[in-house]
Amino acid sequence: MSQTDDHTNNDQVDNGHVNNDHVNNYRRKFLGQLAAVTATGALGSGLVLNNFAQARPADEAVSSNVRYGLLIDTSKCGNGCDACVKACNDENGLQGFDRPETDAQWIRTVKLRDKSTNRTVSLPMMCQHCEFPPCVDVCPTGASFKRADGIVLVDKHLCIGCRYCMMACPYKARSFIHEELTGQVQGIPRGKGTVESCTLCVHRVDKGETPACVEACAKDGHKALIFGDLKDASSEIALRISKEASMQVRGDLKLNPGVRYQGI
Amino acid sequence: MQSTFITNITGIRTALLSLMLFCLPAFAGVPTPDIPKGKGDKCVEETDFMRKNHMELILHQRDETVHRGIRTKKHSFKECINCHAVKDDDNVPVDFKNPKHFCNSCHTFAAVKIDCFECHASRPGNDKRGHGKTNDSAMSKH
Ligand code: SF4
Ligand code: SF4
């Protein structure tokens, strides 16, 4: 099922604290924005406020007032459960070619073992949607980019398949498509010679929905994954990370991933 | 310099192509493309405009969608596919491999190769007809 990565936890917990500053920054910024939103609500129709948590209009560009992220509570992960991986494969039409080393994989289950205690924990690992993404830094074509709302994507029209980003990513989050593909899902373009990784189900998020993995995990009753806007102080994810301990995997790299974990 | 040259070539090619398409009736005896009709009364823009400029609209919308998350339907590639789907005898939309596919009907005639469908679905819906298998085998990677 998984690789055993030996990450010691102490550094990361420390970094959990460092990153609380980020969170506090988000909250401060948010309060400013909230005043603006309330003003709009008062001036315009009451609907503006009601729509606040809903989908952005289709003609409106993504905004950096939002930063999407995931919170993954590993203690809620069902033993051997791979509902999120299956849902991801299905949603995005990821095909296998019986070549496990190279088959596309946007989420994988990773086992972490604390060397000193031998405690192992299994967690889903996908693109961590870093605030300072090394994949973007190294990309020679501008194909790897970070959307204003923090979602890191590959513009496959620009990708030349050099795979620098795959080497730069500390989380092994990216896959390269080696085979010619057919039968792609409409709205999820994928093709030979390009690199890809978790898009946070950007096509669903843009409609105001949650990523497929989050939905599948909740449907299975685990609720180990929650998705939301880290900058919206009233969102479930922001509330949880402001009250409960959470951390970023390899937080010592200071990439400030948008994906946070609990129970590791 | 070189890019201007290429732009010029593309410009000339587009102009010639448009000329060919507009003067079709004038080429008596020359086989002309049989372009299937889309759904509805008319396209999102004038047909003449679309013949010359559809690629520009798609290119613009592609950047807007991928980078800025703008998903308006008017110039969306997905909506082109949905509206211009050509059904086979079994009432199933054909894919780009089929010569009857809307894009094919003209691109084959004009000998302009496109690579949109190396990545994009060439027919409506989330169909898995082309899929060999799901990538469950990949789940054991690493
Ligand atoms: S996890 Fe890897 S692919 Fe994702 S943003 Fe970070 S460096 Fe890039
Ligand atoms: S493989 Fe594509 S996305 Fe990755 S660095 Fe090269 S051009 Fe950029």
- Whether residue B77 is contained in a domain is answered as yes
Which residues in chain A (136-175) have CB-CB distances under 8 A to chain B? 145, 147-149, 153, 155-157, 172
CA of A169 to the centre of ligand 1 (A): 5
pLDDT band at A47 (very low <50, low <70, confident <90, very high): very low
pLDDT of residue B140: 37
- A96 near B CB under 8 A: yes
- Whether residue B36 is contained in a domain is answered as no
- Mean pLDDT (whole number) for A195-212: 97
A100/B137 CB distance under 8 A: yes
pLDDT of residue A198: 98
ipTM of the complex: 0.76
Q: Residue B66 belongs to what domain range?
A: 47-139
Residue A127 CA to residue A259 CA, distance in Å, equals 8
pLDDT band at A112 (very low <50, low <70, confident <90, very high): confident
- Mean pLDDT (whole number) for A218-238: 96
Look at A17-21, A66-70, A106-110 and tell me which has the smallest mean pLDDT: A17-21
State yes or no: pLDDT of A191 exceeds 70.
Answer: yes
pLDDT of residue B77: 94
Question: pLDDT per residue over B73-100, tens digit each?
Answer: 999 999 999 999 999 999 999 999 999 9
DSSP chain B: -HHHHHHHHHHHHHHHHHHHHHTGGGSTTS----PPP-SSSS-SS-HHHHHHHHHHHHHHHHHHHHHH----STT-HHHHHHHT--B-TTS-B--TTSTTSHHHHHHHHHT----GGGTS-SSSS---TT-S-BGGGGGG--
- Mean pLDDT (whole number) for A127-140: 98
Q: Decide if A252 contacts A151 (C-beta within 8 A).
A: no
DSSP chain A: ---EE---SHHHHHHHHHHHHHHHHHHHHHHHHHHHHHHHHHHS-THHHHTTTSPPPTTS---TT--EEEEEEGGGSPTT--HHHHHHHHHHT-B--S-TTTS--SSEEEEEE-TTT--EEEEEE-----SS-HHHHH-SSS-EEE-TTS-EEE-TTT-----HHHHH-TT---EE--S---SPPTT----TT-EE---TTHHHHTTTPPPHHHHHHHHTT---EEEEETT-TTSHHHHHHHHS--B-TTGGG----SEEEE--
Token pair for residue A143?
């194909």
Ligand in closest contact with the CA of A172 = 1
pLDDT of residue A18: 39
- What fold does the segment set A68-262 form as a domain? Alpha-Beta Plaits (3.30.70)
What pTM does this model have? Answer: 0.78
- Whether residue B120 is contained in a domain is answered as yes
**Mean pLDDT of all residues in chain A?**
84
- Give whichever of A27-41, A77-91, A201-215 has the largest mean pLDDT: A201-215
State yes or no: pLDDT of A245 exceeds 80.
Answer: yes
Residue A229 CA to residue A14 CA, distance in Å, equals 23
Look at A25-39, A63-77, A249-263, B44-58 and tell me which has the smallest mean pLDDT: A25-39
Token pair for residue A4?
């055993």
User: In this predicted model, which residue has the larger pLDDT, B17 or B114?
Assistant: B114
- Whether residue B110 is contained in a domain is answered as yes
User: What is the total count of domains within chain B?
Assistant: 1
Look at A47-51, A65-69, A124-128 and tell me which has the smallest mean pLDDT: A47-51
Residue whose CA is at the smallest distance from ligand 2 atom 5:
A139
Task: Compute the nearest-CA separation of B72 from chain A (Å).
Answer: 5
Contacts of A225 (CB under 8 A, 6+ apart): A70, A71, A72, A73, A84, A124, A211, A213, A214, A217, A218
Residue A262 CA to residue A56 CA, distance in Å, equals 29
State yes or no: pLDDT of A12 exceeds 50.
Answer: no
User: In this predicted model, which residue has the larger pLDDT, B10 or A235?
Assistant: A235
- Mean pLDDT (whole number) for A104-120: 92
A186/B141 CB distance under 8 A: no
Query: Number of Cβ pairs closer than 8 Å across A and B?
Result: 125
Residues in B closer than 8 angstroms to A97, CB to CB, are 132, 135
- Which residue in A127, A123, A89 sits closest to A212, CA to CA? A89
pLDDT of residue B33: 79
pLDDT band at A111 (very low <50, low <70, confident <90, very high): confident
Look at A43-52, A99-108, A140-149 and tell me which has the smallest mean pLDDT: A43-52
Q: Which of A86, A89, A95 to mutate to test the interface with B (most CBs of B within 10 A)?
A: A95
State yes or no: pLDDT of A66 exceeds 90.
Answer: yes
Q: Decide if A153 contacts A145 (C-beta within 8 A).
A: yes
- Whether residue B59 is contained in a domain is answered as yes
Look at A13-17, A18-22, A170-174 and tell me which has the smallest mean pLDDT: A13-17
Question: pLDDT per residue over B97-113, tens digit each?
Answer: 999 999 999 999 999 99
Beta-bridged to residue A71, according to DSSP, are A226, A260
- Whether residue B3 is contained in a domain is answered as no
